[in-house]
Amino acid sequence: MNPRLAAVRVLAQVLDQGRSLAEALPQVQRELPERDRALVQELCYGVLRRRDLLQAVLEQLLSKPLRAREREVQLLLLVGLHQILHMRTPPHAAVSATVEVTRVLGKKWAAGLANAVLRRALRERESLLAAVPAAARLSHPDWLQDALRDAWPKEAEGLMEANNLHPPMSLRVNTQRQSRDEYRRELDEAGIAAAPGPHAEEALLLEKPRGVESLPGFAEGRVSVQDQAAQLAAALLDVPAGARVLDACAAPGGKTCHLLERQPELAELVAVELDPLRMPRIQENLARLELHAKLVEGDAARPADWWDGRPFERILLDAPCSATGVIRRHPDIKWLRRADDIPRLAALQEKLLEALWPLLAEGGRLLYATCSVLPVENSEQIQRFLTRHPEARCEPLPGSWGREQACGRQILSGDEGMDGFYYACLSKRG
């Protein structure tokens, strides 16, 4: 399949059928030769990051809107414009390859249109971009722009701009095998530039993203890929030797593995996951790192179905959320999420907190985490919980990262290169 046509097919599934990029993209990539897969990924991610901006440019270049039945032509033109405006594709290649796809689609009439639109975009690039309205330039749906401005009036525009950028690649060094400095020297010898993460003890930040197969020791479990913000969880939970630990919403298992790497002398780590299709990812991660946890397929909101009655000294609740802190890694989130998802998710988070709190031992700690930047899922959620539970105490968080909240701390997307995350640590009074 032509890679640009493949990108059109993926975009149609995401934008018109509501499929996630994680579902649609790999399925199409499997039909492509290895050499084309990265290009298709870049085209899909790029168009989803800047959909509204590209659409606003396209509308300037069309004398009249395309009919709804010409959706594939419209998506193809967005793909072509993304190459011209944001990629280093040679101009003649971007134009000719796009025109060629109109013929593959059986739309010979569109060949002249594509040629004219893209050539004019090349000539008038700066003036076309200058005429794009500010809201379209940010390329976020209206409801999300409003929610971010309500929550973070001073930071909202910078936050949305950060959401439209390529994220950096962060590694987590398995310090059971070697120190961070030792692995950094190994990367240096391999010609891979990396710097220590300032906030997570095991984090290395790569200067340039690369495939995991080129990382020394990846297959042997000496290193994993995980954003620095996500790596904070294991340190914040501060698990002592001999503790019984619950990871309540465990897939894909990155935090489960990190907890075991940092504290190998646990009494037990129980990893609970509701989705049976995500369980193999936890097993794969544990196997690659040669770690062991007790895996339970179950609903964390219904512990009566799987809990044995023995309390946990530590609980990690990485709660299902809007994922508004990781849009730069998953740009389809912007277009798939709806405003009415947020109260539904907040209700689920509350249900999980109430269900898991009785499982925590007296004197134990529960770390609440989300990859959301919306207060209703984060600081406001925890404030409501503290009001209902006088036996719960908000613990101060160590470190200098993020923004202090009434309880916990919030990282906004792009803060010091990190994903957007919220953390709050609750202890139970005896």
Instruction: Kindly list the catalytic residues.
Output: 371
Type and span of the H or E element at 428? strand 421-428
What is the C-alpha separation between 7 and 275, in angstroms, rounded? 28
How many H helices and E strands in the chain? 18, 13
Type and span of the H or E element at 86? helix 71-86
Supply the DSSP string of 26-56, one letter for each residue.
Answer: HHHHTTS-HHHHHHHHHHHHHHHHTHHHHHH
Burial of 115 (0-12, 13-18, 19+ CB in 10 A): middle
Contact at 8 Å (CB) between 246 and 222? no
SS3 296: strand
Going through 84-216 in order, the beta strands assigned E by DSSP cover 170-173, 194-196, 203-206
Residues in CB range of 256: below 8 A, 6 or more apart: 247, 250, 269, 271, 282, 285, 286, 293
Which ranges in 294-362 belong to alpha helices (H)? 332-336, 341-356
Residue with tokens 């799987």: 306
Contact at 8 Å (CB) between 218 and 212? yes
Residue with tokens 């985490």: 369
- Phi, psi dihedrals of residue 408, rounded to the nearest 5°: 90, -170
The closest of 202, 226, 199, 236 to 368, measured between CA atoms, is 236
- Phi, psi dihedrals of residue 392, rounded to the nearest 5°: -95, 140
Give the Å distances, CA to CA, from 34 to 196, 213, 298: 32, 14, 37
What is the C-alpha separation between 203 and 225, in angstroms, rounded? 9
